[in-house]
Amino acid sequence: MNNRQLLRTGIIGSIIAAICCFTPVLVLLLGALGLAAWVGWLDYVLFPALAFFLGLTAYAFWRQRRSAAECCEPENSTPRKSP
């Protein structure tokens, strides 16, 4: 998976998890389907999913920035010596 797809997946997953965590979308949907008993367990699934997708977004952004920095480094540069 390239950096762009990874970043897109992280952002879309974060948005979906945030919508499901902070709005009653799943409560209404599960109630309409007759699965309202699952509502009590949503927090155990949605908050870790939100944390995972936010972490994935941060990782993809870091990876994209790192590859952009490596791409634009001059080839003939010599590393600095530490004192």
**DSSP output for 65-83:** HHHHHHHTS-TTPPPPPP-
Can you give the residue range of the structural domain that contains 49?
A: 3-71
Tell me the pTM. Answer: 0.70
Number of domains in the chain: 1
Inside any domain, residue 53: yes
Closest CA to 43 of 26, 29, 55, 56: 26
66 class by beta-carbon count within 10 Å (0-12 exposed, 13-18 middle, 19+ buried): exposed
Residue 81 lies in a domain: no
Q: pLDDT tens, position by position, for the chain (83 residues)?
A: 788 898 899 999 999 888 887 777 888 888 898 888 888 888 788 889 999 999 999 999 999 888 877 777 666 555 666 56
82 inside domain = no
How many other CB atoms are there within 10 angstroms of residue 56's CB atom? 17
Q: Which pLDDT does position 39 carry in this prediction?
A: 82
The confidence score (pLDDT) of residue 18 equals 86
Predicted pLDDT of residue 3: 82
Query: Is 21 inside any structural domain?
Result: yes
Residue 62 lies in a domain: yes
